Amino acid sequence: MRQHMLNGWLVVALVALVFLLGITAYAEVKKDLPRTACLHGNAGAKVLAAACETCNPGPCDSIARKA
C-alpha cells in the first residue's frame, strides 16, 4: 500500500514538472514571437524595419539572433 502511494506522488510530481516546463516554454516563445516575425520579413535586406510595429526601427543586422 505504501509503495502504491509513493508511486502516485511520483506521477503527480512528474506531471507537475512537465506542466511547468510547458508553461515556461510557451511564455518564452510568446515573448520572442514578435521579434522573430519582424526578422523573418527582412531576412536578407539591410533596411529599416519601419513597417513592423512590434520592433524598434533599426538595421536588421543590429538585432542579435538567439541560438
User: What is the Rg, in whole angstroms, of the alpha carbon atoms belonging to the chain?
Assistant: 21
pLDDT for the residue numbered 31? 82
In a domain, residue 57? The reply is: yes
Query: Which pLDDT score, from 0 to 100, does residue 35 have?
Result: 63
Rounded CA gap, 28 and 31, in Å? 5
- Nearest one of 7, 2, 54, 3 to 32, comparing CA atoms: 54
14 within some domain: yes
Predicted TM-score (pTM) of the model is 0.48
How much is the mean pLDDT over the chain? 73
Per-residue pLDDT of the chain in tens (67 residues, 90 and over written 9): 899 999 999 999 999 999 999 999 999 888 877 665 555 555 555 554 455 555 555 555 555 555 5
- Give the residue numbers spanning the domain of 40: 2-62
Instruction: Look at residue 56 and tell me if it is in a domain.
Output: yes
Contact present, 46 and 62 (Cβ < 8 Å): no
For the chain, the domain total comes to 1
